[in-house]
Amino acid sequence: MAICAVYTTQSLNPTCSISTPSKTHLGFHQKQVVFYTTGKKTSRRGSSSSPYVITCATGDSQTIVIGLAADSGCGKSTFMRRLTNVFGGAAEPPKGGNPDSNTLISDTTTVICLDDYHSLDRTGRKEKGVTALDPRANDFDLMYEQVKALKDGTAVDKPIYNHVTGLLDPPELIKPPKILVIEGLHPMYDARVRDLLDFSIYLDISNEVKFAWKIQRDMAERGHSLESIKASIEARKPDFDAYIDPQKQYADAVIEVLPTQLIPDDNEGKILRVKLIMKEGVKFFSPVYLFDEGSTISWIPCGRKLTCSYPGIKFSYGPDSYFGHEVSVLEMDGQFDRLDELIYVESHLSNLSTKFYGEVTQQMLKLSDFPGSNNGTGLFQTIVGLKIRDIFEQIIASKAKSPVAATKA
């Protein structure tokens, strides 16, 4: 297998090294090196067949960027842990850095919290009379620059917004990961940042459920009362509706959490109706379907094969339109009594992007103590996690096929 050409382009990667098994190290500075062989395509991620190992600080723009938008207290962190679990390995805060850092790092994934791009700290917002939801309190120029740099394979010094003190702390160094997840209030607000995203998700929690969740979260806290929780939600609502909510039209997948329809007038927020809205025609993303793609189906799995107690489980699936886009919607209302029986449901879903039969169930069982494990939130978050893995693998594979084209892009 001969190497026929070495392209050096004037861009990106400050730190690239190529090593052969005989441990020869060549350092390159400010240059990108592309190797390819004739005939067969270069195998991805370095290679089993080729004797050359190319390590480029995760270079040649192999970082893929995922955006997750949701309000605070809506289960973003649970979602994040489910997602990193799909890729294996626990996500942890950067070692030895600021103890109040919002970043989570695992082998493949780095999750950064967009609150770190607040341009105004807590006192600054109070003086100006704006909330954190307001675009004026956020530095989208810096957000764009740093996300772009990470996507291009360059490490950045990212500020840290300290949620305890409400101050902007000294920055921390973020290295380009394989998968960068930006989560927060505004990942799809700025058009430049939005264009950098390879996949985007919006967690849409209905007002009723949000209220119920915040009561569960805050009632035990000193000083909080039903009135204070209500007042806090009401005060933030105008900004939420103006700046956060409209982002969902750009999302490739929306997870909508609504009160159940199985119990009339339920407002406990314990039984949930969860919709997974998947955009059609997104590159590398093929929506999940139930039984038959494109049909409209309502399915109650409870019966001889699945034990359900009151109020049972109901699935629906069908095509729909969402902000003028064609979408597929999968809905689950109700909750599982026994998580291992989820395999029965999983076996009737198609296009899950699992590597083996039962992977969704296995992922859910691994994290069975997480909130939402017995209802649609956990199920759909896990499915989206698998979809992201699939998208990541396809993007890497397509870049490996045409390395020169990919570097030009």
CA distances from 37 to 40, 41, 220, 334 (A): 7, 7, 63, 54
Closer to another protein at the Cβ: 223 or 303?
Answer: 223
Closer to another protein at the Cβ: 102 or 328?
Answer: 102
Instruction: Please state at what angle helix 376-401 crosses helix 359-366, rounded to 10 degrees.
Output: 120
Stretch near another protein under the rule CB under 8 A, chosen from 33-41, 236-244, 267-275, 316-324: 236-244
Binding mask 181-220 for another protein (x = CB under 8 A): ---------------------------------x--xxxx
Handedness of CA 201, 207, 211, 216 (dihedral sign): negative
Interface with another protein, residue 283, by CB under 8 A: no
The residue type of 84 is: T
CA diameter of the chain? 72
Interface with another protein, residue 131, by CB under 8 A: yes
Give dist(CA 364, CA 185) in Å, integer: 26
Give dist(CA 354, CA 262) in Å, integer: 30
Binding mask 286-325 for another protein (x = CB under 8 A): ----------------------------------------
Stretch near another protein under the rule CB under 8 A, chosen from 33-41, 120-128, 311-319, 346-354: 120-128
Give dist(CA 166, CA 349) in Å, integer: 45
Interface with another protein, residue 119, by CB under 8 A: no
Handedness of CA 186, 190, 191, 195 (dihedral sign): negative
| Contact between residue 16 and residue 59 where contact means Cβ atoms under 8 Å apart | yes
The residue type of 152 is: D
Contacts of 299 (CB under 8 A, 6+ apart): 290, 291, 314, 315, 316, 317, 348
Q: Which of 132, 143, 196, 400 binds another protein (CB under 8 A)?
A: 132
Stretch near another protein under the rule CB under 8 A, chosen from 23-31, 225-233, 258-266, 343-351: 225-233
- Min. distance of Cβ 214 from another protein in angstroms? 8
Binding mask 144-163 for another protein (x = CB under 8 A): -------------------x
Interface with another protein, residue 264, by CB under 8 A: no
Interface with another protein, residue 130, by CB under 8 A: yes
Give dist(CA 289, CA 316) in Å, integer: 10
Nearest to 154 by CA among 136, 181, 177, 129: 177
**Residue holding tokens 């109020």?**
311
- Min. distance of Cβ 300 from another protein in angstroms? 35
Total residues contacting another protein by CB under 8 A comes to 32
- Min. distance of Cβ 185 from another protein in angstroms? 11
Interface with another protein, residue 368, by CB under 8 A: no
- Min. distance of Cβ 106 from another protein in angstroms? 17
Closer to another protein at the Cβ: 216 or 316?
Answer: 216
Q: Which of 41, 45, 126, 408 binds another protein (CB under 8 A)?
A: 126
- Min. distance of Cβ 81 from another protein in angstroms? 11
Give dist(CA 133, CA 239) in Å, integer: 6
Q: Which two tokens mark 395?
A: 């993007």
- Min. distance of Cβ 376 from another protein in angstroms? 22
Q: How many residues does the chain have?
A: 409
Q: Which two tokens mark 229?
A: 């929780």
Interface with another protein, residue 239, by CB under 8 A: yes
Q: Which of 3, 53, 235, 242 binds another protein (CB under 8 A)?
A: 235
Closer to another protein at the Cβ: 25 or 222?
Answer: 222
Closer to another protein at the Cβ: 236 or 270?
Answer: 236
**Chain centroid to CA 394: how far?**
17
Burial group, residue 283, by CB count within 10 angstroms (0-12, 13-18, 19+)? exposed
Nearest to 382 by CA among 345, 409, 327: 345
Stretch near another protein under the rule CB under 8 A, chosen from 38-46, 122-130, 252-260, 358-366: 122-130
Instruction: Find the radius of gyration of the CA atoms of the chain.
Output: 23
Q: Which of 1, 26, 231, 297 binds another protein (CB under 8 A)?
A: 231
Contact positions vs another protein (CB under 8 A): 72-73, 77, 122, 125-126, 128-133, 163-164, 166, 214, 217-224, 228, 231-232, 234-236, 238-239
